[in-house]
Amino acid sequence: MPIDKTVCELFAGVGGFHVGLSRSNEEWDIVLANQWEPSRKTQYAYDCYTQRFPNTLALNIDIAEINNNYEHYNIPRYNLLVGGFPCQDYSVASTGARGIEGKKGVLWWEINRMLDRDRPPFVLLENVDRLLKSPSNQRGRDFGVMLGCFRDLGYSVEWRVINASEYGFAQKRTRIFIFAYLNTTNYSLTQLEGLNENTYLQERGFFSNQFPIERVETTNKYVLNEDILTISNEFRFEFLNSGMMIGNTITTQKYKPVLEQAINLGDILENNVEERYYLGEELGDWEYMKGAKAIPRVSKDGHEYVFREGAISFPDPLDKPSRTMLTSESSKNRSTHVVRDLQTNRLRLLTPIECERLNGFEDNWTNTGMTHKFRYFCMGNALVTGLVERMGRELSKIFDNEDEVNHDIQINQTVHEEIAATQIVWELD
């Protein structure tokens, strides 16, 4: 019997993974979702999620609290763990990013606790692509720690950095997707048959059917023998925009995608937009923010330097997909989109509905009682649901070929050794 398509959705936001998976196959059953935003009196995202998915068990609790009192919450069994875990500490939009040691980076360890306890056969996570290079003073350490954790729990891993617009969507949103699977699954054994590490990602990998690769340009390899503490203290490695880890062998490659025709920004614009979205007399301020700058500055230690900033298109071109939308979209700043309205020819901001369309949500998805400003914030945090929909199709095929898994299995050192003995050992170039 194939395994059930049961899902636990962590850091659920307004339900991007839920939307994408449900569109890919109606058999997907999100049995548990967790969404909790610290330091917010009103949990708007959680409220939106529960309104849109009233039949899903949704918890509005700190994930650490759930892990500390797991039996109390009667968590159902699941076969797929998904989540776009908080990324602020990795983001290029954040100054002084501290990586996995940061305030929100530590949430990885809560994910690790869940994996250690529940051992779902499959995992699909999303984050900013900056994760591969974090932290700046020890490039690759954070992702190396994550890979080491997966390895120790008996998982193999594949990842892909995907620019949504390159595969036909309306936003140049670049994110890393991480797919992991237990080494005891049928899928793992299938992937090992006739394995060629040089062509795997392009021809046989999890992402290869839905997100085809034109060619591979660069390949790096590494054997991850170090323990987690050593990785944390010493590991450095250049991870490229795709890769895999089977056993303890990492192969990472820089790829060029097979480009698809993207949806242009102009294609998702509304008609009859309210007056409040149009720019007023502050047009000069917007022109300054969007323009190139060379500003003399002095650092705290007295060092003089010139802060330089390149120009951003003003207004945003309508014949191309949009730039990446940030959580600050509702504010008056350099990154906020400004478009020329198709009906009035006047400059204006994007509407909440247009922001929802950029991520593939239904119109007014976030119109569930949250503030106008927070609707923008949610879309700045969201993922492009169409990407998940494609991944959901691939996952459905994998699940249909997977036997029932004994959830009580414990992956111990002996099992690791047995698995390693079946895997191919590659010589580093």
Would the pTM count as exceeding 0.85? yes
Task: Give the mean pLDDT of 301-324.
Answer: 93
CB contact set of 351 (below 8 Å; sequence gap of 6+): 270, 273, 274, 277
Confidence of residue 423 (pLDDT cuts 50, 70, 90): very low
- Please tell me the predicted confidence (pLDDT) of residue 282: 82
Which pLDDT band, with edges at 50, 70 and 90, does 403 fall under?
Answer: confident
Rounded to whole angstroms, the Cα distance separating 162 from 18 reads 19
Indicate which residue of 8, 48, 87, 355 is catalytic.
87
CATH superfamily of the 265-381 domain = DNA Methylase, subunit A, domain 2 (3.90.120.10)
**Can you give the pLDDT at residue 300?**
84
**Closest among 91, 23, 24, 15 to 53, alpha carbons compared:** 15
- Report the C-alpha dihedral over residues 189, 191, 194, 195, rounded to 10 degrees: -120
Q: Assign domain 6-261+384-422 to its CATH architecture.
A: 3-Layer(aba) Sandwich (3.40)
Sorting pLDDT into bands at 50, 70 and 90, what band is 210?
very high
Model confidence band, residue 40 (pLDDT cutoffs 50, 70, 90): confident
- The pLDDT > 70 percentage for the chain reads 90
Q: Are strands 29-34 and 6-10 parallel, antiparallel or unpaired?
A: parallel
Q: CA 238, CA 227: separation in Å to the nearest integer? A: 19
> Does pLDDT of 365 surpass 90?
yes
Cβ of 238: how many Cβ atoms within 10 Å?
13
> 297 or 429: which carries more pLDDT confidence?
297
Q: For residues 39 and 313, which has the higher predicted lDDT (pLDDT)?
A: 313
> What was the pLDDT predicted at 107?
85
Mean pLDDT of 243-260: 96
Q: Tally the residues of the chain.
A: 429
Q: 409-412, long-range: CB within 8 Å, 24+ apart, which pairs? A: 409/119, 409/184, 411/119, 411/153, 411/154, 411/182, 411/183, 411/184
Give the up-direction half-sphere exposure of residue 311: CA atoms within 13 A in the CB hemisphere: 8
User: How many percent of the chain have pLDDT more than 90?
Assistant: 77
CB 309 within 8 A of CB 245: no
Alpha-carbon torsion angle 6, 80, 35, 111, nearest 10: 150
Task: Determine which of 255-259, 304-308, 321-325, 425-429 has the lowest per-residue pLDDT on average.
Answer: 425-429
For 332-356, the pLDDT digits (tens) are: 999 999 999 999 999 999 999 999 9
Task: Please choose, from the candidates 426, 425, 421, the residue with its C-alpha nearest in 3D space to the C-alpha of residue 183.
Answer: 421
Q: What is the pLDDT of residue 415?
A: 40
Task: Give me the pLDDT at residue 260, please.
Answer: 98
**Is a pLDDT exceeding 70 seen at residue 299?**
yes
The pLDDT value recorded for residue 414 is: 37
pLDDT band at 284 (very low <50, low <70, confident <90, very high): confident
Give the residue extent of every domain in the chain: 6-261+384-422, 265-381
Q: Dump strand ranges (E) for 283-421.
A: 293-298, 304-309, 338-340, 347-349
**Of 18, 8, 6, 126, whose CA–CA distance to 399 is shortest?**
6
How would residue 246 be classed by pLDDT, with cut points 50, 70 and 90?
A: very high
* Residues paired with residue 339 on neighbouring β-strands, in sequence order: 348
Average pLDDT over residues 241-263: 96
Q: pLDDT tier at 429 (50, 70, 90 boundaries)?
A: very low
- Region 169-180 average pLDDT: 98
pLDDT of the residue at 428? 37
| Per-residue pLDDT tens digits for 115-156 | 999 999 999 999 999 999 999 899 999 999 999 999 999 999
Tell me what pLDDT residue 101 has: 56
Q: Is 149 a catalytic residue?
A: no
Give the pLDDT band of residue 404 (cuts 50, 70, 90). confident
Backbone phi, psi, residue 50, to 5°? -70, -30
Cα–Cα dist 37/134, whole Å:
23
- pLDDT tens digits, one per residue of 51-85: 999 999 999 999 999 999 998 998 999 999 999 98
